[in-house]
Structures are given as structure tokens and as C-alpha cells.
Chains A and B, each alone.
Chain A
Amino acid sequence: MGIIDWFIGVVYKSLFLAEDTGFRRAHFLSKAVFILSITLLITRNPGSSYLLVAFLTPLGLMFPGLEWVVAILGLSAFTGLLLAASAYLVSLLGFYQMHVLQILDIVLRTMGISMGIVFSFNIISPIELYNALYVLRGRRVAVIPLMLWKMIPQGLRNFMDSLMVGYSKREIFTKRIPPAVASLIEASWLTEEYCYWKLRIPVKTRINLERSYRHTIILLTVALFITLIQAKFMKVI
């Protein structure tokens, strides 16, 4: 298995492993507050964004679970190392001086930011996006989030299957892209045909999403902690 298979595998696990359980069942306002607190930390106090690794690892273990934590740590560390390596290479050209500790800083900050973004993505339920589109009178397009969350992981799985076949055929990965794309195109044609009438009707009601008080309270508590720490850094308190 090559780095491409690994990369697709961790992208799949990081983004599409979650079912509509755990923090997806938290109240949408608590999610908004949580995402706002993360966004403020990243944008107004980027130096402390590495703290998100400490906050989000236990949350991630609760939901979506250990496999998600392993995947996101791998993916974010990979991204962080790439950024740090590029920064270090540029420093070798003499544009600026770079200390070894700064490399670690770049890796940790990237990990925190990536985890924040991906965790936020995971706690948003496509059903909430559907309901938002319904309320905003996008009743003909409300199905789009539901379909995207179905078709993207399906496409990634096809791509992984195609790569696996290529692995036993001893082919380089670039040769496996056309079959994966062809199967995706065929899948979208068939979906269009089989759901022909379904996709031409505006939806008439919202979809209920069961709520979890426990997860709502946890998200709000963590959001409060993040905000307090931020305030401390900014010397507001």
C-alpha cells in the first residue's frame, strides 16, 4: 500500500466515518457556539491553536471514536510536517532564520487548526443543512447535502477499490484514476436515472434530528473553556 492509499484512507476516516450519533445530536446552537470559539481561537490567537489538539483529542475519542482520532492525528501531522518542511526549505534559501523549535510550532499549530476544522465538519449533521435549506426556501436543493455525504465517501471507496486492484496489477496509482472516475461518472448517471422523479420534487417537511442534552452540555462546556483560555492569553481576565 502506498502513500496515496494511506492518504485516501485517512481522509475517508477523518471526514466520513461519523454516523448521526454523539456530538451530531448536540443542539445546533451549541455547535455554533463551539465552532465560533474554535474560529476565534484560530484567527485571533493563532499562537495557541495547538491547544486544540489537547481539547479535541478526548472529544474525538467520545465521538467519532479512536479510529477518527488516529486518522486525524496522522492526517494533520502529515499536513503540518509538509508545511514545516516547506518553511524550513525556504529558510535555507536565506529569506529568514528558522529555529528548530519553530518547526515543532508549525507542526503543532497546523495539527490544532486541522483538527478544529475537521472536528467541526464531523459534528455538523447533513440533516441540519437540509433543514437550513428547507427554512431558507431551498426546497428543491435541500437534498444536496444528503447526497454529497453519500456520494463523496462512496467515490472515495471506489477510488480505494480501484487503487487496490492496481496494487495487485502492479500498476502505478495514476493509472487507477481514470477507472475510478469512470465508475463515479457511471454511478452519477445511474443515480440520476433511478432517482429521476425523486430529484424533481421539492421537499415538503423538515427532518427531525434526535437531540442529546449530554453532548450539548459537553460542547458548551468545552467552548467555554476555550473562550476562557483565549481571554487569558489576550489578558482580558
Chain B
Amino acid sequence: MPTLIDVNIERCGYPGGFEAKNIKFSLNKGDILVITGKSGSGKTTIIRAITGTLEAAGGFLKGTILLEGREISELKPDEVYKFMTYIPQEPWYSVTGYSVYSEVCYTLALDGVNCAEVDFTPLGISKLTDRLTYTLSAGELQRVLWLEALVKNVKLLVLDEPLVYLDQEARKIVKHFIKVALNRDIGVIVVDHDPYQWEHIQPTILYLDNGNVKYYGPWRDDLFALPVVNQRRERMSKGVVVRFKNTWFRYPGGRYILRNFTEEFTRGLITCITGPNGSGKTTVLKLGAGVLKPSKGSIERTGSTIYIPENPLLYFTMPIPRDELLLSSRLNEGKVIDIAERFNIKHILDKPLSKLSSGERKRLAIASAYLAGYEAYFIDEPTGGLDNENSRAVLEVLESLVEEDKAVILASHDERVIKASDRVINLEME
């Protein structure tokens, strides 16, 4: 019986750019492999190679990827599709249907299965069937994609940072379904910057460093340094900057997400809003920053506010970091250089935004907002998908803001953020 997937890469990467070399690993049915490493170590490139999309992304591959002994490039699209399901870090981009029903049924129609035969009850999907997919949270979307994978009966699951946008409850569900998949003899490849999330399964590890294999073999406790948590210093509140009074809010066509919400956000503290997916964390940020208006109740502000979305691309005004910072600093070149050094973004000042990593974009957005001189910063998922080093860099930037008596309000599930925050507000699901 051939192995499920056999990877033997001499070289792969992008012409004139990043290259990974001598990557060899294999996976049998019912086995799990965790690919880990810092940002820029080659995890995404390897994922593209094993899912057969590297060349479509402008890359090259010298080597072989065998799926049950057959070279991936020689397989028909529907053979590859039936063999594996890839669930990316941002699950909303791997959904094609506008509603949960159309998404699941279309996926099955590719396989010739009529969705009238499908049971939507596992994973609680039956409650979501009429919902529009762009209104679902990351956790809900992942559940939809899991259902598709289970119904399709795939042999291999490839999951990129599957826990990043999930609350604790949803994380438990994903971990449970990975166990279900393994029991069904499905092979699982997980990419995660934090291998400790998978310690309980003792997976095989592929540890990448700058495009090379640093370690490949069974789980070892001594391989990775434990994540360093930013030590929280004792800080004092320096006065209220935003006050929610009996605030209610709902989006068009939706139910009330916030009901009678009363809260104060203060200068000099990092406040983290956490809670289940869909509980209204992002909505609180948008309301606090004044980009949404409450349906009922009031919000008072005593200082200027800014909202930095989870996708920082929506924040920027200029296409080049230097121009963005110059705009925010009112053309003060000296300040731009100073802040670029402080936020560790000097090396990317002249790179186009499209070439920046998530961590670089997040730090740039915060730097730009800082230069514009706001008093309260409402930031969505500031460390989402970042490795420990990048996450620590972002958290240090946020700490420097509160030391200057700014208010920092974050929405996050990330334990690293929660531990570094002075106050944590846990939103309950309405």
C-alpha cells in the first residue's frame, strides 16, 4: 500500500525570491504531521506545493509530490479535489457559495452527490443552512468546510493555522474533529506557528527554518522554546476616553449583537475584548471608534479614536509604507524614520503593501495611526496568525502606546494578548 503523500522537494519557491530546499516527508493514513516554523520559514510555500497550487501562485517546484504513489501534476483536477481538502487560515476565501446551503451543495455537486442526501446536523450546520456565508464567523465557516470534507470522504486534510480566529469552544471542536478524522484514517497536515497546540496528539513534526528542514521526526518536548508571554506591568487607569451607555446594535437584516452594553475604556490601559465567535467583539471596536452608530443607547468620547481592522489593508491610504507614514505625520520625514525604527519597519518602508507580511502590515498600521496622534486605538485581532516573535513585537508596540497614556482596546482570542492585557472583557453570546 503506497503512503498517502510522499513529498520530495529539491527546490521550490518564487523566481528571484524565497526558496525552500531539500524538503522530504511522508504521511500515512490516519497520521498527523504538524509543519511549524517562524514567519518566512517556508510554511506557506510548502502548503502550496503539496496542494498543487504553487505554480499557479507564480512559484516553481523541482521535485515530486506523490499522492498514493501518483504525481500530483499528472492527476486530473477532480482526482486532486477528491483526494484532499485544504482549509486555509482565512476560511472565507475558500468558500464559493453565497449561502451555507449553496456552498455545501455546490461542493457536493462537483462530486456528483445530490445534497438532498446529506445530513446537515453534524457540527450544528443545520442551524446555519439559510445563512449568507459572508455573515458567518471564521469558526462557523470552518465548521462548514469540515462538513464538506467529511461528506466528500477525503483522504487528506491540509489545515493552515486552523485555530487562529477561533474561540476556546470552537478550538475544542476543531481538535475533536481532527481526532475523528484520524480515526477515519484520514491523513492530516496542520501548519501552525505554535506546535504546542498539538502536543496532546504527539504528532510528527516538520520544523522549518529559512526554507530548510531543521527537524523532521516524532514529537520532542525539547524542540521548541515555550512561547514567551509579554510580562504585564502594573498600570493605572488615566481616565475614561470612551463610555458605552446602554448600547444596542444590530447589522442590517440581523439580530441584535449587543444588548444594553455598558462599559468604559480608559487611557493608560490595554483592554482586551474576548468571547465566542460572533459575540460582537469587532462590533464593539467599530462602535467605540465611531465608525458604526449604535441602534439604541449612546457612546461618549472624550478623545480622538481610530479603528484598525483585522485586515490592515483596509486601513491604509497610500500604497507604499513611507508615503503612508508621511501622510500620517504631515510630511515630517524625521518622525517617520524615528517611528519606523521604533516599530521595526524601517526595512520595509519602500516595499509595496502587497509584498508585506501580515505582521508587517499590522505594525505599519499601528505606526501610521500612532503618527496621526489618536488617543484611543481600537485594534482587531492584532496578533492573528503571527508567530511568537512577530506577536511580541506587536504587543511591545501596544505597550509603548499605553505608556504614553493612550487607550488600547483589542479584540482577540489569542492567549498571548489576553495575558498581556490589563483588563479583559468577556462578551457572552446573546
- State whether A193 and B56 are in contact (beta carbons under 8 Å apart), knowing that A20-B99, A162-B314, A179-B316 are contacts in the complex: yes
Give the contact stretch, choosing among B106-114, B182-190, B393-401: B106-114
Give the complex CA separation of A127 and B315 in angstroms: 35
Name the residue on B nearest A200 (C-beta). Answer: B77
Which of A157, A167, A190 is within 8 Å of B90, CB to CB?
A190
Binary per-residue interface labels of chain B (19-58) against chain A in the complex, 1 for a CB within 8 Å, 0 otherwise: 0000000000000000000000000000010011100110
Give the complex CA separation of A31 and B386 in angstroms: 50
Binary per-residue interface labels of chain B (284-315) against chain A in the complex, 1 for a CB within 8 Å, 0 otherwise: 00100111110000000000011111010111
Name the residue on A nearest B83 (C-beta). Answer: A197
Which of B48, B95, B112, B115 is within 8 Å of A208, CB to CB?
B115
> A234 in the interface, Cβ–Cβ < 8 Å?
no
> A150 in the interface, Cβ–Cβ < 8 Å?
yes
Measured CB to CB, the closest approach of chain B to A23, in angstroms, equals 14
> B354 in the interface, Cβ–Cβ < 8 Å?
yes
> B126 in the interface, Cβ–Cβ < 8 Å?
no
Give the complex CA separation of A165 and B285 in angstroms: 12
- State whether A179 and B314 are in contact (beta carbons under 8 Å apart), knowing that A21-B130, A146-B97, A164-B307 are contacts in the complex: yes
User: Does B57 contact A179, Cβ atoms closer than 8 Å?
Assistant: no
Name the residue on A nearest B53 (C-beta). Answer: A196
Within 8 A of A (CB), among B296-348: 305-309, 311, 313-317, 319
Measured CB to CB, the closest approach of chain A to B74, in angstroms, equals 14
User: Does B354 contact A186, Cβ atoms closer than 8 Å?
Assistant: yes
Name the residue on A nearest B88 (C-beta). Answer: A194
Which residues of chain B come closer than 8 Å to A180, judged between CB atoms?
314
Give the complex CA separation of A98 and B78 in angstroms: 64
Give the complex CA separation of A149 and B97 in angstroms: 8
Name the residue on B nearest A164 (C-beta). Answer: B291
Within 8 A of B (CB), among A181-216: 182-183, 186-187, 190-201, 203-208
User: Does A201 contact B78, Cβ atoms closer than 8 Å?
Assistant: yes
Which of B52, B115, B291, B313 is within 8 Å of A183, CB to CB?
B313
Name the residue on A nearest B132 (C-beta). Answer: A19
User: Does B81 contact A201, Cβ atoms closer than 8 Å?
Assistant: yes
User: Does A64 contact B253, Cβ atoms closer than 8 Å?
Assistant: yes
User: Does B313 contact A182, Cβ atoms closer than 8 Å?
Assistant: yes
> B151 in the interface, Cβ–Cβ < 8 Å?
no
Give the contact stretch, choosing among A9-17, A42-50, A86-94: A9-17
> A137 in the interface, Cβ–Cβ < 8 Å?
no
> B196 in the interface, Cβ–Cβ < 8 Å?
no
- State whether A167 and B291 are in contact (beta carbons under 8 Å apart), knowing that A146-B98, A154-B134, A190-B93 are contacts in the complex: yes
- State whether A198 and B81 are in contact (beta carbons under 8 Å apart), knowing that A13-B253, A178-B319 are contacts in the complex: yes
Which residues of chain B come closer than 8 Å to A167, judged between CB atoms?
290-291
Which residues of chain A come closer than 8 Å to B92, judged between CB atoms?
154
User: Does A150 contact B307, Cβ atoms closer than 8 Å?
Assistant: no
Measured CB to CB, the closest approach of chain A to B281, in angstroms, equals 15
Give the complex CA separation of A192 and B88 in angstroms: 12
Binary per-residue interface labels of chain A (122-134) against chain B in the complex, 1 for a CB within 8 Å, 0 otherwise: 0000110010000
Give the complex CA separation of A176 and B314 in angstroms: 8
Which residues of chain A come closer than 8 Å to B57, judged between CB atoms?
193
Name the residue on A nearest B76 (C-beta). Answer: A201
> B370 in the interface, Cβ–Cβ < 8 Å?
no
Question: Can you offer 10 A-B residue contacts whose CB atoms are under 8 A?
Answer: A165-B309, A168-B306, A182-B353, A187-B93, A198-B107, A199-B96, A203-B109, A204-B109, A204-B110, A208-B114
Besides A168-B307, A193-B57, A204-B111, 18 more A-B contacts (Cβ < 8 Å) are: A13-B253, A20-B99, A147-B97, A169-B317, A182-B354, A186-B354, A191-B93, A193-B56, A196-B52, A197-B52, A197-B78, A201-B78, A201-B110, A203-B110, A204-B112, A205-B109, A206-B114, A207-B105
Leading 10 A-B pairs by shortest Cβ distance: A164-B291, A149-B98, A204-B112, A194-B94, A150-B98, A200-B77, A190-B93, A197-B81, A207-B105, A203-B109
